[in-house]
A and B are shown apart, each in its own frame.
Chain A
Amino acid sequence: MGQYDELQILNLKGAVRSVPQPEAAAYLLGCLRAEPEPSRAVDLDLLGAAEDSPDPLPLLCLRCRVSHALETWLLVTYKVHHQTTGIELAAMASYALDDDGELTIRTGPSERAPFTYAQIASLPAGLISPFSAEVLRSYDPALCGLPHWAKLKIQAHNELKAYFRQHGLLLISDWALLRNTSPTRVRQACEQHLRSGDTIEVLCALHRQYRDPYDFAKLKHKQKTGKASGWQPDLSFLRALAPDEDPFTTSDRLRGIAKAIRQWMTQSATQSLDQAAEAGFEAMDPASLSSPTDDDAPLPQELKAVIEAALQGAIDQHMPQVLATLGKNAELLRCLWAGWAEGLSNRPLAERCGTSCGTVSKKLRPTEHANTIAIAAALELKRHQAFSSCGQSVEAAERLVEALRNHLLEQEREGEVAPLRRWIQQYLSNL
């Protein structure tokens, strides 16, 4: 098994591998006479031993255990999101699997001390390295099992969250998920996905109790730490939530509900993607949006010229500012816009410009820019009699802006280049 005597480590080549820890194995053999099956009881025995003695080995066994839990979480998350977002296992592991098995821990710029429980408990507040030490020193066995605690801690890792955001992903804690899920969805999720000895009514009642104390505790946490992330329910929170229950049981139930919600949302996300793939879209012609009954309206050709002039003016006003970004991003931006103007989609664009798909989405935002241009053009067109009704009608205003935006982004006829792409091609070629 090796859960207590093998560390999962990110090596210098960027791969995750198991590294046997002979001293940990010898300790286990000496204490337990055999390699133990992973269990909560063994975790608690080792934790007790680590707390009570200056020996670093029981803590090393637990560091191994934590590294396995972290690796499992990393692999599952990587497997689900790698294809769509381009997240890399090595990058993710660098935040979590940084424990090399040393029996001393850095305590200052050039100081080291024995890697014992007493030592890590005495280190100042804030994230300590390796990450397994942070997991272990903050672990309260009354709240949940050690593997789950490791998962909760990695979900709250600020640098990993930032890495995920760069790739268009959000790490949402179980606690925020519970707060922001309606009773109706909780019931559905529990009915469909939760395997538990508790009745749905018990679980829903617990969830109903959760919201207000969570808001209060979260506010306190913000005031104390200046941060919104990192909050975990403590014993007093769990006892207040369900006074007649064991806090471990309450925590277990809440985590069970959160997992059911995640499963429900996973299922819904898959269904939504299928539906989106079947959905179509039909572009509108802005010229069709002027009032057909207006005798003074210009002929379609004249109207088209008015629209084109308004769009051209709005593009000339807006896009040069977008493309003129200076600094270290200038080269990347130019590469991205040039590729987009050629018609490349996000993945080939990311490959060509050496960045992630998430970065492409965030840096380009062509639809947003097209909308800004469309509004500016529509404001100009509103002064024209044929479009004057747009000021009086929500529907007319929206239809005009939507039609202009689609006109900017869509090719009118096969083989043609969409106006916004064409403009960018010309602009970049003149630089």
Chain B
Amino acid sequence: MTNPAPIDPLEAFPMPEGAIELDDSTASLSARSMAVAALQRALRDRKLSLHLGPETALGDAQRLLSLNRFGVQLATAGVLADQLAVDVAPWVSEATAPQLLLAALVDEENAVVAFPGVLTGAEFIELARRAERGDESVLLDPLAFRGGVERLLTLVQMVDPEALPRLSLTPALQAAVGSLVAVVDWLRGQLDGAFSALGGELTPVAAGAFRSGAVASEAAEQALAMLVIPFGLSGDQLVSGDAARRCVRKFQLALIPTGPDHATHPTGLVVRLSSAVPGALLPDGLQLEARQGSHRQTITTAMSTELELVFQASDQLLDVSLRYGQAEPVELPSLRLPS
């Protein structure tokens, strides 16, 4: 242990900016109930008549709050806490995941509640992947939350509920990793569960159905089947399936086995990323990467309307991934495309 110059320790701490003081009647409440009381007070002070529920279970820590039709998880810690434990139970599936995560720092001894801020589902998942884990919880620094209660009130009033997707911490994106798919099955109309979980669909191959630009590649003209997976950006997070369809920035990844007319085995595969709106620009910085044995191809969008990679059939498995910024890449199941 060191012997530093002594510091007179703070006996009292500045009240966080915007902290809400509750009256003495809340003294025996739980931290969660105090936080709910403070939220109700914030709504009352601003004369906002937004519905807050569930009315009979606001104090139940296992339940999400519903604020103006948004699913909100409330996580509490002490007012000077440097770590906030977020229960991961609701984040196990998209069906139960909240759209917003509200942090509340509660000083039970002084009946004071401060709201450091809010995370969207996508922001939480991004942080959770790098965060320390506790018992059935993700441990976050309260400073990771931003905007105070004002951000919560901004989002639940301004943003359409469908624009804030419910995202799972263990999404289909993760489940896809490690599985192996035979591309030839697509020609028989069979789609692996891993691709279905990503929201992928086999679409009819009509002439030019897959063209996103004026000129389609020669290989794509020989399409035998086409698997289309919808993707989108929710914040800086790549999402797929239904979550992607609700995004403003949405695009699709098409996997197109190719070969001579009426072939029963594909001789090549086109991997094409294009905007969901034909001809529109893709977000800059999307990186498409494919590995086939030692052969690796990487291509990144920059004012691009589409990205395309072409592979020949081989005994080597083909691994395709899509990445955006610092977020975890989406790894597709390995593809078997035998020569």
* Cβ of B12 under 8 Å from chain A: yes
- In angstroms, Cα B323 to Cα A103, docked, is 79
* Cβ of B160 under 8 Å from chain A: yes
CB-CB under 8 A for A180 and B80, given A263-B9, A266-B7: yes
User: Is B82 within 8 A of A169, CB to CB?
Assistant: no
* Cβ of B21 under 8 Å from chain A: yes
* Nearest-Cβ distance from residue A320 to partner chain B, whole angstroms: 12
Pick from B82, B163, B164 the residue with the most CB of A within 10 Å: B82
The digit string for A186-207, where 1 denotes a CB below 8 A from any CB of B, is 0000111111100010000000
User: Is B153 within 8 A of A375, CB to CB?
Assistant: yes
User: Is A195 within 8 A of B1, CB to CB?
Assistant: yes
| Residue of B3, B7, B147 touching A195 (CB-CB under 8 A) | B3
What is the predominant secondary structure among interface residues of chain A facing chain B? helix
* Cβ of B15 under 8 Å from chain A: yes
| Nearest neighbor of B139 in chain A, beta-carbon distance | A182
Beta-carbon contacts under 8 Å, A155-183 to B: 155-156, 161, 164-165, 168-173, 176-177, 179-182
Beta-carbon contacts under 8 Å, B76-115 to A: 77-83, 107-112
- In angstroms, Cα B158 to Cα A390, docked, is 7
CB-CB under 8 A for A394 and B159, given A155-B11, A170-B112, A265-B13: yes
| Residue of B10, B28, B248 touching A393 (CB-CB under 8 A) | B248
User: Is A265 within 8 A of B159, CB to CB?
Assistant: no
- In angstroms, Cα B6 to Cα A195, docked, is 10
The digit string for B30-64, where 1 denotes a CB below 8 A from any CB of A, is 00000000000000011110000000000000000
The digit string for A368-394, where 1 denotes a CB below 8 A from any CB of B, is 100110010011001000000111111
- In angstroms, Cα B28 to Cα A272, docked, is 34
User: Is A266 within 8 A of B8, CB to CB?
Assistant: yes
Question: Could you say which of A29-37, A39-47, A76-84, A423-431 contacts chain B?
Answer: A76-84
Contacts of A321 in B (CB 8 A): 47
Contacts of B211 in A (CB 8 A): none
Interface size on B, residues (CB 8 A): 51
* Nearest-Cβ distance from residue B149 to partner chain A, whole angstroms: 9
Contacts of B189 in A (CB 8 A): none
* Nearest-Cβ distance from residue A20 to partner chain B, whole angstroms: 28
| Residue of B27, B78, B159 touching A180 (CB-CB under 8 A) | B78
User: Is B112 within 8 A of A165, CB to CB?
Assistant: yes
- In angstroms, Cα B112 to Cα A235, docked, is 29
* Nearest-Cβ distance from residue B213 to partner chain A, whole angstroms: 20
The digit string for A238-279, where 1 denotes a CB below 8 A from any CB of B, is 000000000000000000000100110111010000000000
User: Is B248 within 8 A of A165, CB to CB?
Assistant: no
CB-CB under 8 A for A191 and B2, given A170-B107, A397-B154: yes
Interface residues of B (CB under 8 A from A): 1-4, 6-15, 18, 21, 27-28, 45-48, 77-83, 107-112, 120, 139, 147, 150-151, 153-155, 157-160, 163-164, 235, 248
Given contacts A176-B107, A181-B81, A391-B160, 14 further A-B contacts (CB under 8 A): A81-B12, A170-B15, A172-B107, A180-B79, A180-B82, A182-B81, A226-B28, A227-B28, A266-B7, A368-B46, A368-B150, A393-B159, A394-B155, A401-B154
Q: List 21 A-B contacts (CB under 8 A).
A: A80-B12, A165-B15, A171-B109, A172-B13, A172-B80, A176-B78, A181-B81, A182-B82, A184-B82, A185-B82, A193-B7, A228-B28, A266-B9, A321-B47, A372-B46, A372-B153, A392-B160, A392-B248, A393-B159, A393-B248, A394-B155
